[in-house]
């Protein structure tokens, strides 16, 4: 589904975030990506989405390169990405209208179709509003609803385009604890219903363990190796209340802390090394 081979990426005038980095996610898998601030979590998501391009190496989705965003990839952001002047229904229906606008057009040869499906209907918009529990908010504007309701609107819009890959960039970090847990549970349910491949970036250990059946742990740049923690019980009913869940949280916390301790030790040794006199 997602294959990254020998990827190198750096922002202008900055050291590499990724260097000869390889990683892959199979179709239908649920991934969480975690690491310290500035480690490249969001950058990895943008590379997969086609919003950034590597300086070396390859990123492929469904066997195709992604020189630009593809219609089969849904992207859910922390700030929701809603149009403030459009109602809930119109924000979700934006995908339908874009599909109708580009009806009959295709992407370049051997590239993924960049436009939404042209056959999306108003009934499908209504379906996702009902499924996400926001049908009664259809005529409200984003400024009139809660953060959790805005995020449900963003999720409905992404699912309307029938993606086979759903990327989420810390989508619940600004929400209160109860709303966050509710949307985490909804995300798991929707993945199980649709079979969509999910990659969720988070800085929260408990969230990563709840959402990710496989967890990619990034460290301070440059990231050169993909460190993966297997977590097959993620998504099981009641997993959050089981001892295995908290044991996995402790394992992930150790992995993150161990990385930081190793980095700190290396930096200390480097800074205290005896330098030859000039």
Superfamily name with CATH number, domain 1-62+165-241: P-loop containing nucleotide triphosphate hydrolases (3.40.50.300)
Q: Which CATH class is domain 76-163?
A: alpha beta
Q: What is the pLDDT of residue 265?
A: 43
Q: Please, which pLDDT band fits residue 197 given cuts at 50, 70 and 90?
A: very high
For the chain, the structural domain boundaries read 1-62+165-241, 76-163
Domain 76-163 in the same topology as domain 1-62+165-241: yes
pTM passes above 0.75: yes
- Tens of pLDDT, residue by residue over 200-218, are 999 999 999 999 999 999 9
Per-residue model confidence as pLDDT tens digits over 79-117: 778 999 999 999 999 888 765 444 455 554 455 555 556
Residue 89 exposed, middle or buried by CB count within 10 Å (0-12, 13-18, 19+): buried
């Amino acid at each position: 589904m997602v294959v990254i081979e020998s990827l190198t990426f750096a922002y202008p005038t900055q050291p590499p975030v990724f260097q000869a980095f390889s990683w892959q996610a199979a179709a239908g898998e649920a991934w969480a990506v975690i690491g310290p601030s500035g480690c490249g979590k969001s950058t990895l998501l943008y590379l997969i989405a086609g919003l950034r391009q590597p300086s070396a190496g390859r990123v492929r989705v469904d066997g195709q390169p992604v020189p630009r965003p593809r219609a089969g990839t849904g992207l859910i952001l922390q700030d929701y990405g809603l149009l403030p002047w459009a109602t809930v229904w119109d924000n979700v229906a934006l995908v339908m209208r874009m599909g109708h606008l580009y009806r009959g057009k295709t992407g370049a040869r051997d590239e993924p179709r960049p436009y939404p499906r042209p056959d999306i209907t108003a009934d499908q918009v209504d379906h996702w509003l009902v499924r996400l529990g926001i049908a009664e908010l259809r005529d409200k504007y984003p400024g009139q609803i809660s953060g959790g309701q805005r995020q449900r609107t963003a999720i409905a819009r992404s699912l309307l385009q029938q993606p086979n890959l759903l990327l989420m960039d810390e989508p619940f970090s600004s929400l209160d604890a109860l709303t966050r847990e509710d949307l985490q549970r909804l995300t798991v349910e929707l993945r199980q219903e649709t079979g969509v491949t999910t990659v969720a970036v988070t800085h929260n250990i408990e969230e990563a363990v709840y959402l990710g059946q496989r967890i990619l742990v990034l460290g301070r740049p440059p990231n050169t190796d993909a460190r993966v923690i297997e977590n097959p019980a993620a998504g099981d009913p009641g997993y959050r209340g089981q001892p295995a869940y908290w044991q996995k949280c402790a394992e992930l916390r150790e992995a993150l802390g161990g990385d930081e301790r190793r980095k700190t030790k290396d930096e200390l040794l480097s800074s205290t090394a005896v330098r030859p006199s000039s």
